[in-house]
Amino acid sequence: MRILSRKGGKEDYYYLQHSFRKGTKVITKEIYLGKKVPKNINKIREEFKRSLKKDLYERLEKIKKDFQSQWKRMPESARNRELEEISIAFTYNTNAIEGSTITLEEAREIIQNRISPNKPLRDVKETDRHSKVFLNMLKNKGDISNKLLLKWHGDIFNETKEDIAGEYRNYPVRVGYYIAPDWKDIKNLMKSLIDLSNKKNNGNPVELSAIIHYRFEKIHPFGDGNGRIGRLLMNYILWNAGYPMLIIEYKNRKSYYKALMGNEEDFLKYFLRRYLAVHGKKEKKTKN
């Protein structure tokens, strides 16, 4: 999105312009600002951005309505089975992204049948604990807080990473080429993140979940386990807003990591593409 000027006689006329790709076409939209750039240009830019996303928001709202309609029709026993299946898939993929050796079928055996495979005990315990935290998370309707995030982390890692479980880091960390913020800044950074998460009428929840996830990963508040807590956090936002959740699949980890290494706008575009690719298909099926 950029501000440009055009000459009209001796006068300059200012416009706000945005170009985006839709399929194979590049579409350009613009609005007239006047003979000078208004002081409230940031507000105008945000309103223009929202107007450009009208079709997207309508589609996301349709996904939500279809999901809620189907979910309410399901008997409670069927809902519980579905949540367990989501728990298995989510737990397997989120742990696999972080290097767990547990396969999808082994995750099912651990979670459903309480059968432990011949794999590292750490991976087995983190599979079991993550599933329990995820299912308990879905029962919680409260605001996001430091206490909640620390509890998730502690409950997952208190047997495998006892020295850091349930605590924000108090030392520097590096993730590849990325150097996370100074640990002394974590308290303030997390306060801003949590305040944004809980702010009412804060735009579309799908966009919010992506932004919060991205910023959480950039803060990197824990010594380890940030990816798993960050993906729990994004799904907590989606679920409590009535939207279907999103599983970042292990097979798509490279594009996911690449998006996280970019800027926030790029990650948001990636996230929305993935969300619509998964849930947009279901949306189309309901039309047929």
Q: Which two tokens stand for residue 137?
A: 């998370």
- What is the rounded CA–CA span in Å between residue 224 and residue 21? 37
- Of 173, 129, 171, the closest CA to residue 152 belongs to 129
Tell me which residue has tokens 């706000």. 16
Query: What are the residue numbers of the active site?
Result: 220
Tell me which residue has tokens 């735009």. 203
Q: Which two tokens stand for residue 112?
A: 């459903």
Instruction: Let me know: does 13 contact 34? Beta carbons within 8 Å.
Output: yes
Instruction: Let me know: does 219 contact 179? Beta carbons within 8 Å.
Output: no
Neighbours of 246 (CB within 10 A): 21
Taking CB atoms within 8 Å and a gap of at least 24, the contacts of 209-217 are 209/233, 209/234, 209/235, 209/237, 209/238, 209/241, 209/246, 209/271, 210/234, 210/267, 210/268, 210/271, 210/272, 211/264, 211/268, 212/237, 213/271, 214/260, 214/264, 214/267, 214/268, 214/271, 215/264, 217/260
Reduce the DSSP state of residue 195 to 3 states and report it: helix
